[in-house]
Amino acid sequence: MNLAARGFTLAGKALTRLARLLPDGRPDPLAHRRAELGRPTDRLDGRAKATGAVRYTAERQLPGLAYAVVVGSTIARGRVTAVHVPPAPGVLLVMTHENAPAMKRTPAYATMKGPLGAAAMSLPVLNTDEIFWYGQPIAVVVAESLEQARYAASLIHADYEPWPARLSMADGKPYTPAHAVLEEPVTRRGDVRTALGAATATVEAEYTTPLEHHNAMEPHATVAHWEGDRLTVHDTAQYPYGVKEMLAKKFSLAEENVRVLAPFIGGGFGGKTPAWPHVWLTVAAAKLSGRPVKLVLSRADVFAMTGGRAPTSSRVALGADATGRLTALEHHALAPCTTDEFAEAAVAASRHLYTCPNVHVAQQVVRLDRIQNAFFRGPGVAPGSFALESAMDELAWRLGLDPLELRLRNEPERDPMSGIRFTSRHLREAYALGAEAFGWSRRPPAPRATRDGRWLIGHGMAAAINPDAVLIAGVQLRLAADGTVTIRSSTNELGAGTSTAQSQATADRLGLPLDRIRFEQGDSDVARTRIPGASAATTTLASAIWSARDNLVRELLKLVRDTGSPLAGRSFEEVDTRAGGLFGPSGGQSYERILARAGVEAVEVTGKSALPYQTVKRGTYSYGAHFCEVRVDEETGEARVTRWVGAFDGGRIVNPKQATSQMRGGIIMGIGMALTEETLLDERTGLIVNRSLADYHLPTHADVPAIDIHFVDQPDPQTPLGAKGIGELGIVGVAAAIANAVYHATGERVRSLPITPDKLM
């Protein structure tokens, strides 16, 4: 372990010790209230989206708008020695490293060297002739029309001085990174090797997952517009505030002079958490050309110029005694990283899912000449749990134990790594719900037991876990004289239903019907908000709105202080927001009335999320259990998923309809991960060969079975709304459940994803 890793680990240990002194999360009275919350409300923006009324970034039009196209490098490492720019019609600017304005280097996200989730990488793209990955922008063409920009870009070619590039995991020397996505890279307790020697049953195997790309429906897009030294950027950012901060630094601007607008995102999945270089290059191109500039990445550019989920390889060793209790758990994972050290930390699930006395969990990385990795729905846990949950299944077969029973026997009472308590953990209930709905107990005990014509049928299950983060957000709340409330937030609508969920939360927080609430979003100027992802929007925003509500109450009490209102002179603690107004022990008044009496148009307050001490003090995770049926044509190797039941502990479910969609979406993505998705990066050159939706196989409708979703729906006593993050949870464990079902169907164990026909025939 190097110095940085040791430092990070020590700091983490110290923090855990100190955490005991921290306060618990404040119990939220809304956790048990059910008016709008808990209702399967249709998404409020559904109609606007379906009818095309919502404007996405790529649809922004501005007077004088010019269009940009990026040209990528065709080598992975080296120097550009010349960029040849043949003349082409309509071209306003060709920006290369020779004429690009200086852009300050800013730290890469997730490296802990700067704010989480701002710039994707620290590399000085287009401020240097150096090439760091295949597809790195070497020129940006700005033209009067998109067609002209594309044509001009197609003519540009470069001369290079190529250097040897490290592109395969075998090209580098594995080492221990400073941290594994904010967790210590190595945890060791007891003596795994001795325990393995003494175990009744053991499994030791290697599991691999490939490079994958998010493939959000909406490609990345940026529209940049300068007015003097004021900069406005429309962007597909998951994290508008982070982009604002980053751009201010890069272009040496005061933060208040940069505004980033991103109200609606057509899916992000982590791929839009950081700003990739095209974002700041668009800003630079707008500056240099003196025109507002729009850049929309092509699908192929999305593959080359934004990062994906890094491939992983995991060696897992498990040992258990005769009763099925784990005695040894070893998980050594390897993933590539770049100059900016951010690895796919595949060991997270192995830290927190099962109780075991002897543990050795270690994340290592290999530095390669590739584009920086991205967060991707369930970063680390999704690929890592494929390894762990496959190995658990293998262990169950060795022990002759039902894989569900094996998991139940190793369910921890406290966090297995730190010994701290959980805020809540209802994985047992999720297992029970899912198993019952699936009919798990009727599963034939032996592999290869069921056949339907050419199809062998198997059942598989796996557990899901995802860290539950509550982050930092601010909101503005405006109560108008007509009793309507507008919430403004820097966070945006990724498509998950954030605006609907927060409208529901606001309605109940203030005791108003849903149709009185408006939710405006995605404006970086509203407040410092750090929600780059992490399934944290629901609870973090709810916390900020809660605080705004408290501030509103204080303001309203000031308004009624010297009136004849039954609220006059009441203290904050004595009053409550409900039934359309403010109420105290001797009665209350509607919001309209309070404002009318005071003769004010509106009351405006802000709110800030509470510091989430509980997530440091205690283990905070959401959980789930997947059960599935898979059919395998043994002759052709085709595997098709035919039935799915998922049961989840996501705390209190804010909107069951939206939550169900989230889980379904995660499971569908997991089906792709299990069976079809793989980015083919040619390790000879760095070229991504299948950079289109025809060639990169996402699941189609025909690949997706009926998916039955259940929730434990128990409030977490320490989180805002009693909710826990569920945006990423659905994908975790899916690939293992499928691989386990494939084994049950065929007796074949596939340990490398995706499980394509050639691996099964």
Partner 1 sequence: MNPFSYVPATDTSSAVALAAGGAKYLAGGTNLVDLMRQGIETPRELVDITRLPLADIEEQPGGGLRIGALVRNTRVATDERIRDRYPVLAQAILNGASPQLRNRATVGGNLMQRTRCGYFYDRHSACGKRDPGAGCAALDGFNRTHAILGTSESCVSVHPSDMCVALAALDAVVNIAGRDPVPLVDFHRLPGDTPHVETMLAPGELVTSIDLPPAQPGRSVYLKVRDRASYAFALVSVAAVVRMEAGRATRVRIALGGVAAKPWRAYEAEELLTGTSLDDELIHQAAGQALAGSRQRAHNAHNAFKAELARRLIRRALQGVRS
Active site residue 728: yes
Residues in contact with 615: Cβ distance below 8 Å, sequence separation at least 6, in sequence order: 423, 468, 469, 470
Q: Could you tell me the smallest distance in angstroms from the CB atom of residue 633 to partner 1?
A: 8
Q: Does 84 bind partner 1 (CB under 8 A)?
A: no
Residues in contact with 472: Cβ distance below 8 Å, sequence separation at least 6, in sequence order: 528, 529, 530, 531, 540, 608, 609
Q: Could you tell me the smallest distance in angstroms from the CB atom of residue 696 to partner 1?
A: 10
DSSP code string of 245-299: HHHHHHTT--GGGEEEE--B-S--TTTTSSBPHHHHHHHHHHHHHTS-EEEE--H
Q: Toward partner 1, which CB reaches closer, 341 or 678?
A: 678
Q: Which of 79, 150, 325, 749 touches partner 1 by CB under 8 A?
A: 150
Q: Which of 261, 374, 675, 707 touches partner 1 by CB under 8 A?
A: 675
CA 751 to each of CA 24, 280, 319, 650: distance values in angstroms, whole numbers, following the listed order:
41, 40, 18, 29
Kindly state the number of chain residues that form the binding site for partner 1, as judged by CB under 8 A: 32
Return d(Cα 671, Cα 738) in angstroms, integer.
8
Q: Does 697 bind partner 1 (CB under 8 A)?
A: yes
Beta-carbon-side half-sphere exposure of residue 520 (alpha carbons within 13 Å): 13
Name the amino acid, one letter, at 394: E
Point out which span in 112-120, 312-320, 330-338, 635-643 binds partner 1 (CB under 8 A).
635-643
Q: Could you tell me the smallest distance in angstroms from the CB atom of residue 57 to partner 1?
A: 22
Phi first, then psi, for residue 692 (nearest 5°) are -150, 165
What is the number of other CB atoms lying within 10 angstroms of the CB of residue 126? 26
Q: Toward partner 1, which CB reaches closer, 571 or 700?
A: 700
Point out which span in 436-444, 534-542, 678-686, 720-728 binds partner 1 (CB under 8 A).
678-686
Q: Toward partner 1, which CB reaches closer, 562 or 758?
A: 758
Q: Which of 321, 703, 708, 747 touches partner 1 by CB under 8 A?
A: 703
Q: Which of 20, 188, 451, 684 touches partner 1 by CB under 8 A?
A: 684
Q: Are β-strands 619-633 and 602-608 bridged in parallel, bridged antiparallel, or unpaired?
A: unpaired
Name the amino acid, one letter, at 743: Y
Instruction: Look up tokens 């699908």; give the residue.
Output: 299
Q: Which of 87, 442, 571, 701 touches partner 1 by CB under 8 A?
A: 701
Asked if 535 contacts 727 with a C-beta cutoff of 8 angstroms, the reply is yes
Q: Toward partner 1, which CB reaches closer, 321 or 634?
A: 634
Q: Could you tell me the smallest distance in angstroms from the CB atom of residue 629 to partner 1?
A: 15
Q: Ramachandran region of residue 356, left (φ > 0), alpha (ψ -120 to 50) or beta?
A: beta
Return d(Cα 747, Cα 449) in angstroms, integer.
10
Q: Toward partner 1, which CB reaches closer, 256 or 635?
A: 635
Point out which span in 172-180, 273-281, 330-338, 695-703 binds partner 1 (CB under 8 A).
695-703
| Angle formed at CA 618 by CA 616 and CA 624, multiple of 5 degrees | 110
Return d(Cα 383, Cα 285) in angstroms, integer.
38
Return d(Cα 174, Cα 711) in angstroms, integer.
41
Point out which span in 165-173, 183-191, 384-392, 697-705 binds partner 1 (CB under 8 A).
697-705
DSSP state of 156: -
Q: Toward partner 1, which CB reaches closer, 380 or 699?
A: 699
Instruction: Look up tokens 């751009």; give the residue.
Output: 247
Q: Which of 484, 563, 661, 690 touches partner 1 by CB under 8 A?
A: 690
- Going 727 to 728 to 731 to 736, the CA torsion angle's sign is negative
Asked if 734 contacts 667 with a C-beta cutoff of 8 angstroms, the reply is yes
Return d(Cα 308, Cα 526) in angstroms, integer.
30
Q: Toward partner 1, which CB reaches closer, 159 or 682?
A: 682
Q: Does 299 bind partner 1 (CB under 8 A)?
A: no
Point out which span in 175-183, 263-271, 426-434, 637-645 binds partner 1 (CB under 8 A).
637-645
Point out which span in 7-15, 364-372, 582-590, 630-638 binds partner 1 (CB under 8 A).
630-638
Q: Does 676 bind partner 1 (CB under 8 A)?
A: yes
Q: Toward partner 1, which CB reaches closer, 134 or 251?
A: 134
Q: Could you tell me the smallest distance in angstroms from the CB atom of residue 300 to partner 1?
A: 8
Contact residues toward partner 1 (CB under 8 A) are 74, 147, 150-151, 154, 454, 635-638, 640, 675-676, 680, 682, 684-685, 687, 689-690, 694-695, 697, 699-703, 756-758, 761
Which residues are catalytic, by number? 728
